[in-house]
Amino acid sequence: VAWGETRGEALDRMAGALLRTRVAGVTTNRELLRAVVRHPAFRAGATTPAFLDRHLPAFQAAEDPVAVR
């Protein structure tokens, strides 16, 4: 959970928190979450329940893997 005076500020805080998060021993979806909070449509609040269905292939094709250890 992140808070900010604006949506953008809250998302920036969330992105920073995700960047600093370290999890050892299990697979996470941290990189996927980082990609989502940086996506322009998500940042603008222009999402629907189909957001991940529509954008997941691009997230998976990104340089960073979706699942990291």
pLDDT tens, position by position, 28-39 = 999 899 999 999
- DSSP for 46-61, written as a single string: ---TTHHHHHHHHHHH
| Residue tagged 């340089």 (tokens) | 63
Q: What does pTM read for this prediction? A: 0.77
Q: How many CA atoms lie within 13 A of 18 on its CB side?
A: 20
3-class secondary structure, 35: helix
Q: Which two tokens stand for residue 8?
A: 């953008």
Tell me how far apart the alpha carbons of residues 33 and 2 are, in angstroms, rounded to a whole number.
Answer: 13
pLDDT tens, position by position, 50-68 = 999 999 988 887 755 544 4
